[in-house]
Amino acid sequence: MPELPELELLRTALSGYAIGKTILAVVTNPSRAFVIRYPPLDFARDLTGRKIAGIERRGKFLIFGFADDGPSLIINPMLSGRFAYCSRGAPALPATCFTLQLSGAEDIRFLDNTMMARVYVTSDPATDIPSFADLGPEALDPKLDFKAFSERLRRHRGELKNVLRNQAFVAGIGNAYADEILFEARLRPLRRASTLSDVERHALYDAIRSVLSQSVATVQAQHAEGKHPLHRQVRSFMKVHGKGKAACPRCGHRVSSVHAGGESTFFCRNCQV
């Protein structure tokens, strides 16, 4: 699932490709139109002819704004939503849900193997998009200082990994980066937030900032080197997520994995407490 670092890559890369260009046509795939939470014919009609003025991110949503100040295109990629930027004549890509044909003969294609993504056209996301109004502050928001973070954390007393993934707590963190943050903070995922000391709360806050900032820089560098195409998710740089049974990079103990609800949690039983 794309999280804050991957979505920041998408935001910056797609901005470079698309800002200032006009959507000449919108081609939808009827077999995958389920992801569009808007009538497909209206979706194509309401985007065609509009110039892309900016692309922003809010939590796990990408927001395409237009020069006419009309409704925005808002995309939540969810589990497997991906983007591809290619020439108009490029070969078809499997799982394409829709294509934005841009001036200049380039396309932005949105793909989703599982059709779990959600795509909206709206001027009022707080009303039209479930949970959008409930989003907490951005995980890397400079205004989210340690005091504000601690006050929010005291209102969320459950297991640490669930708290980190709760978009109403802070926005942008998902399953994978929660594992990395908790490893950096030396805290177990199933530990309850209500049990943390002041020192541990500070360690968690610092880990959020450092892990996400470093990961944003890493995925941007990988993309620049051609190692991280937009339509693929590359996380080989992660320390514990997806590394079950490997040696912990900090203490050498075997990395443990727990699987529940279709998702996996990775941590070190030796150096995370």
The pTM assigned to this predicted structure is: 0.95
Amino acid at 158: G
Which pLDDT score, from 0 to 100, does residue 41 have? Answer: 86
Determine the topology of domain 146-268 in CATH: Helicase, Ruva Protein; domain 3 (1.10.8)
Q: What is the pLDDT of residue 125?
A: 96
Cβ-count burial 43-81 (b if 16+ within 10 Å, e if not): bbebbeebebeebebbbbbbbbbbeeeebbbbbbbbbbb
The contacts of residue 255 (CB under 8 Å, 6+ apart) are 240, 243, 244, 245, 246, 247, 248, 266, 267, 268
| pLDDT given for residue 88 in this prediction | 93
Per-domain residue ranges of the chain = 4-134, 146-268
pLDDT of 105: 94
- The whole-number pLDDT of residue 234 equals 87
Q: Which amino acid is at 59?
A: G
* Confidence (pLDDT) at 84: 94
Low-confidence stretches of the chain (pLDDT < 70) are none
Give every CB contact of residue 105 below 8 A, 6+ residues apart in sequence.
87, 88
pLDDT for the residue numbered 199: 97
* First-residue to last-residue Cα distance in the chain: 27
Fold of 4-134: N-terminal domain of MutM-like DNA repair proteins (3.20.190)
